[in-house]
Amino acid sequence: MADVAHTDGHHDVHESTGIDNRKLGMWVFLSSEFMFFGALISNYMLFKGRDYSAFVPAGQSVILPRELYDIPFTSVSSFVLLMSSLTMVLAHDALASGDQNRTRVWLAATGLLGSVFIGGQVFEFTEFVQQGMTLSTNPAASAFFVLTGFHGAHVFLGILMLLSLYGISKRQGGLTESQGLNVELVGLYWHFVDIIWIVIFTIVYLIP
Amino acid sequence: MAEEHALAHPTPRQYVQIAVLLAILTAIEVALYYLEQSIDAFTTSIAAPLLILLAVMKFVIVVGWFMHLRYEKSLLSKFFTTGFVAAMVLYVAVLFALGAVVLL
């Protein structure tokens, strides 16, 4: 099928699949992210149950991530991230109905909930370090910090994108149709970060 | 391709209902974790498949309804599913090959 190009008043949109190429690109990117997080989750699963007594001086006990997990705390964090997916989809819905004010409110709420999640992760990491588990304590601890740290970095990047959309909308008094697609793309990214956490929460925290 | 967009997107009220369902599923997951911790008969081999099932349900709900994949053209589903399945096959094979215990 030949490339189709049309204009939305601001720039050309190219599509040969009937799907905007930016949207297609985002879905392909998210699909590739499964490989990235799959590697980190596998890494954690590989190292979580091994014997690390050789890593500690005689007489000291091995500190493993799962001995330090605070499940009630992490459950609340998971709930917060799940609810941020709700506010994100409500932002997209508000924009689709042309309500710019409500879009900004939901974008801000999503960023706020994401910040609460990141704050929880910083608190969790700080607690673990204070209890003696650092990035270099043993391979299981290292795998845990790398996995959850990279996920946190993704959330942080998502918050920056949300703040950008909020700032643009505030400055212009609303988002154009083209910028509206950006809300959808950021939303896809945000929901993806959420589904990765769904997997991490189950495999890393809940299953022994 | 028009039939692929025939489904109407959920309303805000329905999005809230979906979020409540996700919250309930998360609460069940946490309850299963504590059951596994406190009841000897409720072993990991029983809890783990249930926890994975709940996670899969949450995953499908977020992807299908919040990411709107069920309302999109099938090409996007194919791309997304291919990445997911490829990663699963690769890493499960690697974990088996390296002798890691998978899931249980």
Residue A162 has pLDDT above 70, yes or no: yes
Domain boundaries, chain B: 2-71, 73-104
- Chain A residues lying within 8 Å of B90, measured CB to CB: 35, 38
**Any CB–CB contact under 8 A between A146 and chain B?**
no
How high is the pLDDT of residue A77? 97
Residue A2 has pLDDT above 50, yes or no: no
Within 10 A of A125 (CB to CB), how many other CB atoms are there? 18
- Chain B residues lying within 8 Å of A191, measured CB to CB: 62-63, 66-67
How high is the pLDDT of residue B78? 93
Domain boundaries, chain A: 32-55+62-206
Q: Residue B43: closest CA among chain A residues belongs to which residue? A: A208
How high is the pLDDT of residue A19? 87
Residue that wins the pLDDT comparison between B101 and B21: B21
**What is d(CA A199, CA A193) in angstroms, rounded to the nearest whole number?**
10
Cβ <8 Å between B29 and A17: no
Alpha carbon of A196 to those of A33, A72, A142: distances in Å?
Answer: 9, 19, 19
> Which among A97, B13, B28, A56 has a CA at the least distance from the CA of B36?
B28
Q: Is A52 exposed, middle or buried (0-12, 13-18, 19+ CB in 10 A)?
A: middle
Q: What angle do CA A9, A14, A19 make, to 5 degrees?
A: 105
Residue B99 has pLDDT above 90, yes or no: no
Alpha carbon of B92 to those of A35, A151, A153, B16, B96: distances in Å?
Answer: 12, 21, 25, 35, 6
To which residue do tokens 């509206």 refer? Answer: A180
How high is the pLDDT of residue A15? 66
How high is the pLDDT of residue B97? 85
In this prediction the ipTM stands at 0.89
| Residues in B 32-91 with any Cβ partner in A closer than 8 A | 32-34, 36, 44, 47-48, 51-52, 54-55, 58-59, 62-63, 65-67, 72-73, 75-76, 79-80, 82-84, 86-88, 90-91
Cβ <8 Å between B59 and A208: no
Note the pTM of the prediction, 2 decimals.
0.90
**Any CB–CB contact under 8 A between A4 and chain B?**
no
CA distance A108 to chain B (A): 17
To which residue do tokens 């801000």 refer? Answer: A108
The model's pLDDT over B63-78, given as tens digits with 9 standing for 90+, comes to: 999 999 999 999 999 9
CA A174 to chain centre: 26
Q: Which fold has domain A32-55+62-206?
A: Four Helix Bundle (Hemerythrin (Met), subunit A) (1.20.120)
Least trusted range by pLDDT, from A4-13, B8-17, B37-46? A4-13
Q: Measured between CB atoms, which of B12, B33, B47 is closest to A71?
A: B33
Least trusted range by pLDDT, from A11-25, A103-117, A122-136? A11-25
Residue A14 has pLDDT above 70, yes or no: no
The model's pLDDT over B38-59, given as tens digits with 9 standing for 90+, comes to: 887 778 788 999 999 999 999 9
How high is the pLDDT of residue A13? 57
| Residues in A 170-189 with any Cβ partner in B closer than 8 A | 187-188
Band (pLDDT 50/70/90 cuts) for residue B95 is confident
